[in-house]
Amino acid sequence: MKARIFSGVQPSGNLHIGNYLGALKNWVEIQGDYESIFGIVDLHAVTVYQSPAELRAKILETAALFLAVGIDPRQSSIVVQSSVPEHSELAWMLTCVTPVGWLERMTQYKAKSQEQETIGDGLLQYPVLMAADILIYQAAIVPVGDDQAQHLELTRDIAQRFNSLYGETFVMPATHLPTVGSRVMGLDDPEKKMSKSATGSGHAIGLLDPPEQIRKKIMRATTDSQPQVDFDCLGAGVRNLIDISQAFMSWTSAESRTEFQGMRYGDLKKKVAEIVVSKVEPIQQRYREITSEPGYVDAVLAQGAERVSPIAKSTVRLVKERMGLYTAV
């Protein structure tokens, strides 16, 4: 039997090349080696306010993008988190074994809560729901970008605590990071991680951005005052552009060096823009095909939920038994 993987994306904002290089590209590459489940985590998205109409549209857009990048629904299940209610049920049970101090230490919680006038409890509970997403499928591997590593450590801590209190129940999930592209930085500010929620127009490259816009954003990307690429002292902006290319092309560091060493920044940017456009355009083409077929995405999501529900139900039943909660005979 193949080991299982789970990973997810929030359907908030526009999916960008950071999401692709940090997570989705990796999913496509390894999906055949595992029993793969990929989630559109809508319950996580509402930890901060989302316009209901926009959220509904983004869920379908995200699912269509999963398909467009190459997730194969015959091999992998694509599931909307809220359509499998056991995620929330398990999250409550895990909440009860999670010390608040663990949650208050999470760097994403600290950063996100600073942006809010009132901090919703959901923001604090966020990583417990994430632990439930993973543990409910007994996933052995979780392919994510570097910003989720701390949440994954917490997931293992929660699983361990549950196992030691109630007996061996959960598989310990391992974090799987890509070698390059695990932390794509903003083009406008290479000190900040590329993010869906950042507002600057030159910050992120959306997977659905028109090619002309992609070229413009890359040509305007922040670099430094050196004239040309020098691998012995790369500034953060130039390193980011090189990493993006290397990750898209699946080059080794040596190949990347041969490609770019000594190149003037203007030429570097033109080359990077061509690489990104050449990789993103076919995704956009498939996205248009997928979304032109009425009902197709909904059917994939229904099939995904149907396939994974029995696994979720059986884990919740096991957890209830372990905890002494009532399970009807």
Active site residues: 112, 193, 196
As beta bridge partners, residue 9 has 40
Q: Is 136 in the site for ligand TYM (CB under 6 A)?
A: no
Token code pair at residue 263? 């190149």
Selected range binding ligand TYM among 51-59, 142-150, 217-225, 258-266, rule: CB under 6 A: 142-150
Integer CA distances (angstroms), 223 to 18, 198, 265, in order: 18, 19, 8
In whole angstroms, give the CA distance from residue 103 to residue 126: 9
Of 125 and 182, nearer to ligand TYM (C-beta) is 182
Site for ligand TYM (CB under 6 A): which residue of 46, 70, 95, 147?
A: 147
Of 57 and 325, nearer to ligand TYM (C-beta) is 57
Beta strand 76-80 pairing with 174-176: unpaired
Site for ligand TYM (CB under 6 A): which residue of 145, 190, 237, 304?
A: 145
Amino acid letter, residue 91: A
DSSP H or E stretch at residue 101: helix 100-104
Q: Is 276 in the site for ligand TYM (CB under 6 A)?
A: no
Residue 42, number of CB atoms within 10 A of its CB: 21
User: Cβ distance 208 to 287 under 8 Å?
Assistant: yes
Q: Write out the binding residues for ligand TYM, residues 2-41 only, by CB under 6 A.
A: 6-10, 18-19, 21-23, 41
In whole angstroms, give the CA distance from residue 133 to residue 159: 12
Of 6 and 248, nearer to ligand TYM (C-beta) is 6
Of 192 and 264, nearer to ligand TYM (C-beta) is 192
Q: Is 156 in the site for ligand TYM (CB under 6 A)?
A: no
DSSP H or E stretch at residue 176: strand 174-176
Of 123 and 194, nearer to ligand TYM (C-beta) is 194
Site for ligand TYM (CB under 6 A): which residue of 42, 133, 188, 209?
A: 133
Closest CA to 303 of 90, 76, 139, 85: 76
Chain residues binding ligand TYM by CB under 6 A are: 6-10, 18-19, 21-23, 41, 44, 130, 133-134, 142, 144-145, 147-148, 182-184, 193-194
